[in-house]
Structure 1
Amino acid sequence: MSQSFAARARDDVADLIHRQAPRTSGRVIDDALLVVSELVTNAVRHGGGIAAFAPIIRGNRLVLHVADHSEQQPVSPDRTPEWPAEGGYGWSIVRNLADSVNVSRRPQGGKDICVALSLLGHGGTKAAEMSGL
């Protein structure tokens, strides 16, 4: 289920960017779609499922709202020999590519994650550090 919802979410965000911010670079779009995939997949795997997904463009920023059914805060586990090398990168990827991340509790239960990404590519110091540039 997360695969199909993640694919739909990526398609929706790509369409939104192409319609409302057509001059956005391919690298910025790729980063945005990676963040969408990680947020949606984490909500399904660790958050009890998607409660809401709302992407919007506000000025030169893509704002992603993802709500799930868990009040547990996302974590980026420390890598240790005992910790498996598979998975666990999603939240770190989101935090490193985003210009801002806000996690809040929903009154009806669960949490809302709001992530903003620059469509101009100026948030690139984090992305460049991640890619080793």
Structure 2
Amino acid sequence: MESRGSNSPPDPAVAGPLPYEGVWRFTAPAVDVSVPQARHAVRDLLERQQVPVGGDTVQGLLLIVSELVTNAVRHAALLSPEIAVEVAVGTSWIRVSVEDNHPYRPKALEADHGQTGGRGLMLVREITGEAGGTCGVEQTANGGKVVWAALPLVATVTSPRSTPSAL
């Protein structure tokens, strides 16, 4: 898994980003083994940068990463042999996104208890909403897509039905 980051230590004489703020991007082949690798890379990044995020938020975030990377591997690999996972951390929020080159824009399915799969984006939407965050899908300049979720670093409890989402 290739990793690139844009974080540099802050200069104490200049007011600037906090030590944990920055944007990091990991690329990986669109294969099954990339799912746990992406999850571990995000977890390790949060620990290394000492991002002040609670345990429940970390677990939700890692589940979101797993679901988004799994979707890219399962549904986009034919047109996108490589995927990118990006982690952006601000002063009070964290955003994870997965980019692929497939043009199809996914939508969260409604619960169908007879179905054994297809609930990943619904799960992402629910986790994000419960944490007080938001999620969505954006098209890229090359015709692919970025599926993302942003969570507050300090969880706020909200009703999942009241949180808008593009998924």
Shift, 1:52, TM fit: 1.7
Give runs of aligned pairs for residues 68-87 of structure 1, distance below 5 A: 68-79=100-111, 84-87=114-117
Give runs of aligned pairs for residues 20-59 of structure 1, distance below 5 A: 20-48=49-77, 49=80, 50-59=82-91
CA 90–119 in structure 1, closer or farther in 2 if over 3 Å, else same: same
Give runs of aligned pairs for residues 1-133 of structure 1, distance below 5 A: 2-48=31-77, 49=80, 50-79=82-111, 84-98=114-128, 99-122=133-156, 124-125=157-158
CA 60–38 in structure 1, closer or farther in 2 if over 3 Å, else same: same
Q: What SS is found at the alignment partner of 1:125?
A: coil
For residues 21 and 44 of structure 1, what CA distance do their matches in structure 2 show? Answer: 29
CA 92–23 in structure 1, closer or farther in 2 if over 3 Å, else same: same
TM-score between the two structures when normalised by the length of structure 1: 0.79
Aligned residues: 124
For residues 110 and 135 of structure 2, what CA distance do their matches in structure 1 show? Answer: 20
Shift, 1:120, TM fit: 1.1
For residues 112 and 148 of structure 2, what CA distance do their matches in structure 1 show? Answer: 29
Structure number with the bigger relative contact order (C-alpha 8 A, sep ≥ 6) is 1
For residues 47 and 57 of structure 2, what CA distance do their matches in structure 1 show? Answer: 12
CA 2–118 in structure 1, closer or farther in 2 if over 3 Å, else same: farther
Given that 2:110 and 2:122 are in contact with CA atoms closer than 8 Å, whether structure 1 keeps it comes out as no
Given that 2:67 and 2:124 are in contact with CA atoms closer than 8 Å, whether structure 1 keeps it comes out as yes
Q: What SS is found at the alignment partner of 1:3?
A: coil
Given that 2:94 and 2:153 are in contact with CA atoms closer than 8 Å, whether structure 1 keeps it comes out as yes
For residues 56 and 15 of structure 1, what CA distance do their matches in structure 2 show? Answer: 14
Q: Which runs of 5+ in 2 are unaligned?
A: 1-29, 161-167
For residues 99 and 93 of structure 2, what CA distance do their matches in structure 1 show? Answer: 19
Structure richer in helix, relative to its length: 1
Q: Which runs of 5+ in 1 are unaligned?
A: 128-133
TM-score between the two structures when normalised by the length of structure 2: 0.64
Identical columns (%): 31
CA RMSD, 1 decimal? 2.2
Q: What SS is found at the alignment partner of 1:120?
A: coil
Shift, 1:110, TM fit: 1.2
Structure showing greater Rg: 2
